């Protein structure tokens, strides 16, 4: 069976004609401000790919509101529409962070009166001290390195309209920031971005994906993702050259060939295995798959049939 049997494959050319608008609702500078390292994105991408995507999210939001109203009629009481939760997943270095920030910005423009929040599941990684105690530091990013029960509790609280606090992860120090939290106060729309967004926790009673109303998987050929990963690693080194507190500063002292070999080894022994065993198998849980080619160009969109 074809792995995309349950999806309609839509070319970029066809997709961009599904929703027409006169102009992208943001500037080139705004777009540049949300772009991640080594990610490529243009106003044309916004016009062709992301505005139709946001229009589709509008339909899911309307469906959620209609269902809450109908449920209220059935129960003979007022049922508040819960927050729309959007999950965005994909490999390390595939550009999902840029996608998440762009979707947040566009939804904020589309729903001017609604609050749109974004969290990353990096904040639910166990602190390095805990990972070291459990001999899991070399498995950072794998399912067991995340506090999935805490992530589940967070999503449950969000759906119930509760105020929440989320730990903040710093790539500069390669750890959870001590005593710093992101405040999430009953948003209308919540975007959750991370490699484990569509994965299942150990508990069989409830799954992370149970909370998502819409989900996106950012996809690309493995060889291309590896290339992007190596380019990003190189950019992180350049940023860390003059900052001794940066986790990547230690690697700037090594000969460049050794650093490149280390990055390739990390990809092969950590990120590639995580992608093949735990991330990519969740791809077909997504409502939308954005397929990228060179230069982060989205060439195809897969929309789940049912």
Annotated binding site for ATP: 90-97
Residues 126-147 as b/e (b if ≥16 CB within 10 A, e otherwise) read beeeebeeeeeeeebbbbebbb
Contact 197, 88 (CB under 8 A): yes
Contact 210, 74 (CB under 8 A): no
Q: Which residues have a Cβ under 8 Å from the Cβ of 235 and sit 6 or more positions away?
A: 37, 38
Contact 212, 145 (CB under 8 A): no
Binding residue positions: 90-97
Exposed / middle / buried, residue 163 (Cβ in 10 Å: 0-12, 13-18, 19+): exposed
Which residue, among 193, 221, 220, 223, has the nearest Cα to 291 in the 3D structure? 220
Rounded CA gap, 269 and 139, in Å?
Answer: 10
Residue 34 phi, psi dihedral angles, 5° rounding: -105, 0
């Amino acid at each position: 069976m074809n792995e995309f049997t349950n999806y309609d494959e839509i070319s970029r050319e066809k997709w961009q004609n599904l929703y027409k608008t006169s102009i992208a609702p943001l500037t080139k500078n705004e777009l540049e401000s949300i772009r991640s390292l080594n990610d490529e994105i243009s106003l044309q991408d916004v016009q062709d790919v992301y505005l139709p995507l946001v229009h589709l999210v509008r339909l899911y939001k309307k469906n959620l509101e209609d269902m809450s109203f109908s449920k209220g009629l059935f129960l003979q009481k007022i049922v508040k529409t819960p927050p729309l939760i959007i999950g965005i997943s994909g490999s390390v270095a595939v550009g999902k962070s840029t996608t998440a920030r762009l979707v947040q910005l566009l939804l904020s423009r589309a729903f001017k009166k609604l609050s749109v929040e974004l969290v990353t599941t990096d904040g639910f990684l166990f602190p390095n001290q805990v990972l070291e105690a459990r001999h899991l530091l070399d498995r950072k990013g794998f399912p067991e390195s995340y506090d999935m029960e805490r992530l589940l509790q967070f999503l449950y609280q969000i759906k119930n309209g509760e105020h929440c606090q989320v730990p903040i992860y710093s790539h500069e120090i390669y750890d959870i920031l001590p005593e710093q939290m992101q405040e999430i106060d009953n948003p209308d729309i919540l975007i959750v971005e991370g490699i484990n967004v569509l994965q299942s926790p150990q508990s069989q009673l409830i799954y992370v994906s149970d909370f998502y109303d819409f989900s996106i998987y950012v996809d690309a050929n493995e060889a291309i993702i590896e290339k992007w990963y190596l380019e990003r690693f190189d950019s992180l080194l350049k940023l860390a050259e003059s900052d001794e507190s940066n986790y990547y500063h230690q690697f700037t002292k090594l000969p460049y060939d050794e650093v490149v070999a280390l990055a390739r080894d990390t990809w092969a022994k950590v990120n590639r295995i995580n992608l093949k065993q735990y991330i990519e198998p969740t791809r077909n849980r997504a409502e939308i798959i954005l397929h990228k080619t060179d230069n982060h160009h989205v060439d195809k969109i897969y929309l789940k049939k049912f």
